[in-house]
Amino acid sequence: MYFRNALGGLAVLIVLTTSIAVAQTPAPTPTPASRPALPQPQPQSAPTPSAPSIPAKSYVLMDFASGRMLAEKNGDQRLEPASLTKMMSSYVVFEEIAAGRLKRDDLVTISEKAWKTGGSKMFIEVGKQVAVEDLLRGMIIQSGNDATVALAEQVAGSEDVFAQMMNGTAKRLGMDNTHFVNADGLPAEEHYSSAHDMARLSRAMIAEHPDDYALYAEKTFEWNGITQHNRNSLLWRDDSVDGIKTGHTESAGYCLAASAERDGMRLIAVVMGTDSEKARADAAQALLNYGFRFFESHVLYQLDAELATPKVWKGAVESVALGVAEPVVVTVPRGRYSDLKASMDLPRQIIAPIQQGQQVGTLKVSLDGEQLVERPLLARQSVEEAGFFGRLNDSFWMWWRGD
Active site positions, annotated: 83, 86, 143
Please tell me the distance from the alpha carbon of residue 148 to that of residue 121, in angstroms, as a whole number: 9
Look at residues 320, 293, 291, 290 and name the one whose alpha carbon lies nearest to residue 307.
320
Kindly give, in sequence order, each residue whose CB lies less than 8 Å from that of residue 318, ignoring residues fewer than 6 positions away.
28, 311, 312
- Cα-only R_g, the chain: 29
On the 0-12 / 13-18 / 19+ scale of CB atoms within 10 A, 399 is exposed
Q: Count CB-CB contacts under 10 A for residue 163.
A: 23
C-alpha to C-alpha distances, 299 to 69, 107, 250, 251, nearest whole angstrom: 18, 44, 43, 42
Residues 6+ away with beta carbon under 8 Å from 313: 349, 350, 351, 352, 394, 398
Distance CA 146, CA 141 (A): 13
Number of H helices, E strands in the chain: 11, 15
- Cα→Cα distances 302→68, 326, 335, Å: 19, 7, 22
DSSP tag of 353: -
